[in-house]
Amino acid sequence: MTVYAIIGGSGLTRLEGLQIRQSLALDTPYGAPSAEVQIGEYAGSEVLFLARHGHPHRFAPHRVNYRANLWALKQAGAEAILAVNAVGGINGAMGTGHFCVPHQLIDYTSGREHSYFADDLEPVTHIDFTYPYSESLRQRLIAALVVEGAGFSDRGVYACMQGPRLETAAEILRLERDGCDIVGMTGMPEAALARELQLDYACLALVVNPAAGKSASVISMTEIERALGEGMVRVRSTLARVLRAD
């Protein structure tokens, strides 16, 4: 059976229901990960869990040590990554509470340590990143969402912005012109690092607010937190269905 790792984002700094057997405080060549890697049983399967932003939530998106996080999960035995991301909805069909399993992404970040292939290389290494998400893992998420009965999109383009601030309305219009459907701050370099480590990787994105300029009101953190609280119940259930189906 595949050994899955779940990376929890905002709203999922701990995996309720995980029967923790071991917590590993791992060191990596790239420093310490955001949190301990928890190993235990969830939905009848062995699973690894890592809080992307730490527990409690303390690392802003541009300060997350993505290289250490992915390296630690690989070191702990992960073979595939289920990444949970809270996002804003650009596409009008992707309102608050909607799920998206993106098939593509565009990276708008800067200044992040984005590769393991950076220094003292012999030879220079390039990965094929044409399709950034594992299609087989995407299909597992889609099948689970169908059974779950959740409103979701089985395709979408994820725009990864630098953060930690939210975007301007003009920036969102630009992203929309670029073909983006959802916007977040943590999808990259996480997906690329997983590919460099030959880990299957897919994203389960929960829309927690309309993107800037996509509603008549300003973005409210209270409303985002409410959407996170409500949506994470279905996130956990969806993840459990993926694990049971393996």
* Cβ neighbours around 154 below 10 Å, total: 16
Label residue 216 exposed, middle or buried (CB < 10 Å: 0-12, 13-18, 19+): exposed
136 annotated as a binding-site residue? no
Q: Is 138 annotated as a binding residue?
A: no
User: Which residue type does 143 have?
Assistant: A
User: Is 185 annotated as ligand-binding?
Assistant: yes
DSSP string, 100-150: E--SEEEE---S----S--SS-SS------SS-S-HHHHHHHHHHHHHHT-
Choose among 30, 14, 23: nearest CA to 66: 30
> Which 8-state DSSP code applies to residue 152?
E
**Is 210 among the annotated ligand-binding positions?**
yes
125 belongs to an annotated ligand binding site: no
Residue 130 known to bind ligand: no
**Residue 188: Cβ within 10 Å count:** 22
* Binding region: 10, 52-53, 185-186, 209-211
Known binding-site residues for phosphate equal 10, 52-53, 186
> Which residues carry a binding-site annotation for substrate?
185, 209-211
